Every structure is written in structure tokens, then in C-alpha cells.
């Protein structure tokens, strides 16, 4: 019995018919794959494309489950097209099908977001397995997208946009700087959750990892892409949405992200002026540009502070951390060339133990004492909940999208609401976030196919 006949009538996808887009510049290859897929009852060809750019357009329009992508094509190679597709339509799993057996191509393709890599020629069963495995690997991404879209329909909460390249007008957005003078204070966690909580159906938000040397937003959100802030800097002078979007990737929950460079040498080449220009360009297309800053108080940090509508200044309930927050406030207050910058700072005390509201925990500073020392009240005090935070990070999901009723999620949502009100932006309330369902962990790491000797 042939391999086609063996698998025919035995769907392995829970009854769902996998929608497949074929992207290959060779019409004979497209037709050959189309005929092979016709034998499988759990697969259907949704469309075809003969160039990389056409493949991107077709993916955005058709939203297939799986994209079969060649590498060598006119106008745009398959790796660049894969990068664009995984950023624009996260639910589409890309399977690279190519004559290129070089390991370098494989690494580049998987880094670009491909779920599977197989070389031509191949056995029919290898193709079927690749499609089903790639589809399976995207289970969590599809589930997350469905939940976010459902929550958006029910309550107006940020929904997942399949495209990520929808046309919007130029906006006067707000830069939100998130900073701590103390290492390990939870800056990335707070920045990520503020950005997620700020999103709603009418509010475009982008999170920018400006910890250029050792940024870890990608790890917190479990996203991978070669696109990063260096790509944004290269095109920022054009300042149009289409070119800027190529440097932005989209988390399955809908949050847009600009990653830090993956190479230290690239980080060293970026100037503070370039960062400032890039953030200002983003603010023309996004309502909120949330910036995750590194610990050093340097020229880049100061430039971001001056451009920011709000500064979230984070401290810990320890003597060194409180001293450092006071030092930063003093510096901001003494700046001569910036008006009211200190008033734009919202002080946040992170990892506050439950008993600190009543008595001093060992090795910590009571909230009231810290406030007296810095001579201002904290806008937010975030209870310590390391276990839930670790789980959220391991799953690549912001806490405010996962455990909204368990601290510090309500406090983070309230902090985002404070930021909205401070910049006079349309507000959302905690109640609008009630219907987001728990989110399953992101899928496992990609797998690669094997070469066969049969076309």
C-alpha cells in the first residue's frame, strides 16, 4: 500500500483540515506539492505564491496554518520572508522546503522563526509529517491568539491582530521610560507588564528593549527573531510605518516588541542619539512606546528621560536601593535644561513583603520609611510574588494577561492606569481585563527534517 493511501483518511490534527500555503518560484514544484497534499484528508492547499513578497501578502490575506517556503526566490529570499511572516502572522507555522542542505541556512531559517526545515528531494511522508509537526508546534500560539481575540470581542481588551501591519495614521504617542538604578530590581518584568496592560482595541503599544548589551525581553516573552533595534535604526530616517514594522516583531498576545541586539558588537555601535531618534519615530505610529532601560545612568538614559512623558522609577525595599532612587530623583530635580522632569517620575517599590505594611521585615526598609527618605509617595507598591513571576516568565506570558487577580497583577494594571491618566490618554479599568483566559506555555523548540533521495 502506498504511503499516500496509508495516511489518507487518518487525520492527525483532531479533525481540523490544515490550510497550507505553498511559496515557491518553480511552478512544477508548486503543482507537485499540490498533488501530494490532495491525497491527505487533513490538509488543503489554501493558495500559492511564486515570490517571497507575494508569500507574505498571501499569508496576511489567507492566514494559513502552515506555509511551505522555498529559500531561493526572486525579489525576496525565503528566510527574510519567513521573518516577516512570523512577525506578521504568528499563527502561521513556516516549513522551509529547499535544496539548500547547508547547516548555515538551517540555522538562519530557524532563527527567523521557521518551525521545520526539510531538503529537496523528499519522501511524501516526510512532507506530511513536517506539515503536521509544524502545525502541532503552533498549538499554543493558536490557543493564545484565540483567547486574546475572544477576550477582545467580549470586553474590548487588546485583541490579537493577525496582520501586525494594519494601516494607522500618524499619532502623537507617549514614551514611557522604565528604569531602576539598582540591578535586578525587576525592570524588565514591570516594563513588559505595563506594556501589556496599556494595550486595548484602540491603543497601539510597542515595547523597546534598550538594554542594548544584555537585554532579555526576548527571554521574558519567549520570542525569537533576528530583527532588532539595529534594523530600526537603519530605516528610521524613512520614518514610514511599513519600513519601521520590519524591525518590530509581535508576541502572540498582540504586543509589539523591538528587541535588543543579539550581538555585543552591534550594541557598542549604537549611539544615544540613534536611540532617541528611533523612539521618537516609533511614537509617531504608537500611542505608547514603553522603554526597558539598563541600570547605568548615562547619556542614553538621560535622553530617554527627557523625551519621556512618564518615567517609572523602580526601587527595592532595601537601604542601597532606596538610596539610589533618592540619588536619581535629586539628579532629575537639579537638571537645568528640562522642565518638570522630576514631576514626570512615578516611583515604584517592587517586591514588597506582605508584612512590611505592618512591621519591618528583616533586611528591608518599611514602605513609610522609604517614602520619607525619598520625600515622596510611591505611585505603586508591588507585592513580592516570585513564584507566579517565574511561572509567567517560563511561559513567555505577561502576568497581567495570565493571573490578573493575583498580586502583583492588579497593582501592575493600576500602575498602567495611572500612566494613562497622567498623560491624559483614554483609560481602561481593571474590569476590562477580567475575561482574558489563562494562557498555555509557548511551543517547544523547532525540529528539522531529514533529507531523502526521492522527489
Same domain, 24 and 172: no
pLDDT of residue 47: 96
Distance CA(161)–CA(369), nearest Å, equals 45
Structural domain includes residue 150: no
Q: What rounded mean pLDDT belongs to the chain?
A: 81
Contacts of 184 (CB under 8 A, 6+ apart): none
Structural domain includes residue 416: yes
Kind and range of the H or E run holding 23: strand 18-23
Same domain, 123 and 70: yes
pLDDT of residue 428: 31
Per the structure, the count of domains in the chain is 2
Same domain, 391 and 346: yes
pLDDT of residue 431: 29
Which has the closest alpha carbon to 398: 384, 381, 382, 412?
A: 412
Contacts of 200 (CB under 8 A, 6+ apart): 156, 157, 158, 426, 428, 432
pLDDT band at 106 (very low <50, low <70, confident <90, very high): confident
pLDDT over 60 (residue 2): no
Structural domain includes residue 406: yes
Question: pLDDT for 413-432, tens place per residue?
Answer: 999 999 988 885 333 333 23
Rounded (10°) angle between helices 299-307 and 272-282: 20
pLDDT band at 104 (very low <50, low <70, confident <90, very high): confident
Same domain, 100 and 189: no
Structural domain includes residue 42: yes
Question: pLDDT for 303-339, tens place per residue?
Answer: 999 999 999 999 999 999 999 999 999 999 988 766 6
Higher pLDDT pick, 339 / 19: 19
Same domain, 119 and 198: no
- The percentage of the chain sitting over the pLDDT mark of 90, rounded to a whole number, equals 51
Same domain, 307 and 400: yes
Distance CA(328)–CA(101), nearest Å, equals 54
Q: 66 lies in which domain range? A: 3-141+443-448
Give whole-number Cα distances, 102 to 73, 327, 401, in Å. Answer: 17, 54, 40
pLDDT over 80 (residue 14): no
Of 35-39, 235-239, 333-337, where does the model show the most confidence?
35-39
Question: Is 113 within 8 Å of 85 (Cβ atoms)?
Answer: yes
Same domain, 85 and 182: no
Higher pLDDT pick, 147 / 290: 290
CB atoms within 10 A of CB 297: 17
Distance CA(137)–CA(141), nearest Å, equals 8
Structural domain includes residue 146: no
Structural domain includes residue 454: no
Same domain, 112 and 187: no
Same domain, 59 and 203: no
Mean pLDDT check: name the lowest of 97-106, 214-223, 230-239: 230-239
Burial 9-39 (b: 16+ CB within 10 A, else e): eebbeeeeebbbbbbbbeeebbeebeebbeb
Question: Is 309 within 8 Å of 423 (Cβ atoms)?
Answer: yes
pLDDT over 70 (residue 239): no
Same domain, 83 and 184: no
Same domain, 362 and 291: yes
pLDDT of residue 23: 97
Cis peptide preceding 282, ω within 30 of 0: no
pLDDT of residue 253: 85
Could you tell me the CATH number of the domain that includes residue 18?
3.40.50.2300
pLDDT band at 62 (very low <50, low <70, confident <90, very high): very high
Q: How far is CA 37 from the centre of its chain?
A: 33
The side-by-side arrangement of strands in the sheet containing 93-98 is: 43-49, 18-23, 66-69, 93-98, 116-119, 447-448
pLDDT of residue 112: 78
Using DSSP, how many helices (H) and how many strands (E) does the chain show? 18, 14
For residue 36, give the 3-state DSSP assignment: helix
Same domain, 337 and 401: yes
Q: What is the mean pLDDT of residues 53-60?
A: 93
Structural domain includes residue 148: no
Question: pLDDT for 158-197, tens place per residue?
Answer: 433 433 333 344 445 899 999 999 999 999 999 999 999 9
Which DSSP state fits 256? E
Higher pLDDT pick, 111 / 189: 189
pLDDT band at 13 (very low <50, low <70, confident <90, very high): low
Phi, psi of 328, deg, nearest 5: -65, -45
Could you tell me the CATH number of the domain that includes residue 283?
3.40.50.300
Dihedral, CA atoms, 212, 218, 223, 225, nearest 10 degrees? 10
Structural domain includes residue 105: yes
Distance CA(204)–CA(215), nearest Å, equals 22
Q: What is the mean pLDDT of residues 204-218?
A: 95
Q: What is the mean pLDDT of residues 77-81?
A: 91
Higher pLDDT pick, 1 / 203: 203
Dig out the grid coordinates for 363 from the structure: 533586611
pLDDT over 80 (residue 93): yes
Amino acid at each position: 500500500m502506498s504511503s499516500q493511501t496509508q495516511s489518507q483518511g487518518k487525520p492527525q490534527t483532531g479533525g481540523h483540515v490544515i490550510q497550507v500555503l505553498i511559496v515557491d518560484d518553480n511552478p512544477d514544484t508548486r503543482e507537485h506539492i499540490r498533488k501530494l497534499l490532495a491525497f491527505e484528508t487533513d490538509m488543503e492547499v489554501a493558495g500559492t505564491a511564486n515570490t517571497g513578497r507575494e508569500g507574505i501578502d498571501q499569508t496576511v490575506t489567507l492566514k494559513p496554518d502552515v506555509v511551505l517556503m522555498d529559500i531561493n526566490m526572486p525579489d525576496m529570499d525565503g528566510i527574510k520572508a519567513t521573518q516577516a511572516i512570523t512577525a506578521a502572522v504568528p499563527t502561521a507555522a513556516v516549513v522551509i522546503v529547499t535544496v539548500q542542505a547547508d547547516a548555515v541556512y538551517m540555522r538562519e531559517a530557524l532563527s527567523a522563526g521557521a518551525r521545520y526545515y526539510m531538503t529537496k528531494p523528499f519522501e511524501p511522508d516526510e512532507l506530511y509529517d513536517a506539515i503536521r509537526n509544524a502545525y502541532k508546534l503552533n498549538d499554543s500560539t493558536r490557543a493564545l491568539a484565540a483567547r486574546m481575540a475572544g477576550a477582545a470581542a467580549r470586553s474590548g481588551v487588546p485583541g490579537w491582530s493577525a496582520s501586525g501591519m494594519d494601516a494607522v495614521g500618524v499619532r502623537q504617542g507617549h514614551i514611557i521610560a522604565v528604569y531602576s538604578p539598582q540591578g535586578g530590581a525587576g525592570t524588565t518584568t514591570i516594563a513588559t507588564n505595563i506594556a501589556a496592560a496599556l494595550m486595548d482595541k484602540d491603543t497601539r503599544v510597542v515595547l523597546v528593549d534598550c538594554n542594548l548589551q544584555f537585554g532579555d525581553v526576548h527571554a521574558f516573552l519567549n520570542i525569537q527573531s533576528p530583527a532588532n533595534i539595529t534594523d530600526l535604526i537603519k530605516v528610521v530616517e524613512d520614518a514610514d510605518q511599513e519600513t519601521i514594522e520590519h524591525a518590530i516583531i509581535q508576541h502572540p498576545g498582540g504586543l509589539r516588541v523591538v528587541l535588543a541586539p543579539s550581538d555585543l558588537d552591534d550594541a557598542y555601535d549604537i549611539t544615544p542619539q540613534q536611540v532617541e531618534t528611533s523612539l521618537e519615530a516609533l511614537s509617531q505610529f504608537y500611542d505608547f512606546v514603553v522603554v526597558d532601560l539598563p541600570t547605568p545612568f548615562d547619556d542614553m538614559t538621560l535622553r530617554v528621560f527627557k523625551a519621556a512623558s512618564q518615567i517609572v522609577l523602580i526601587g527595592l525595599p532595601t537601604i542601597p536601593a532606596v538610596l539610589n532612587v533618592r540619588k536619581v530623583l535629586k539628579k532629575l530635580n537639579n537638571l537645568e535644561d528640562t522642565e518638570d522632569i522630576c514631576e514626570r517620575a512615578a516611583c515604584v517599590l517592587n517586591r514588597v513583603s506582605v508584612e512590611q505594611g505592618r512591621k519591618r521585615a528583616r533586611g528591608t526598609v518599611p514602605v513609610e520609611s522609604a517614602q520619607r527618605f525619598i520625600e515622596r509617595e510611591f505611585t505603586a507598591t508591588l507585592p513580592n510574588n516570585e513564584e507566579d513571576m517565574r511561572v509567567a516568565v517560563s511561559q513567555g506570558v505577561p502576568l497581567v494577561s495570565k493571573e490578573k487577580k493575583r498580586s502583583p497583577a492588579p497593582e501592575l494594571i493600576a500602575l498602567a492606569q495611572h500612566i494613562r491618566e497622567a498623560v491624559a490618554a483614554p483609560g481602561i479599568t481593571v474590569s476590562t481585563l477580567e475575561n482574558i483566559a489563562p494562557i498555555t506555555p509557548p511551543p517547544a523548540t523547532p525540529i528539522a527534517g531529514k533529507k531523502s533521495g526521492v522527489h
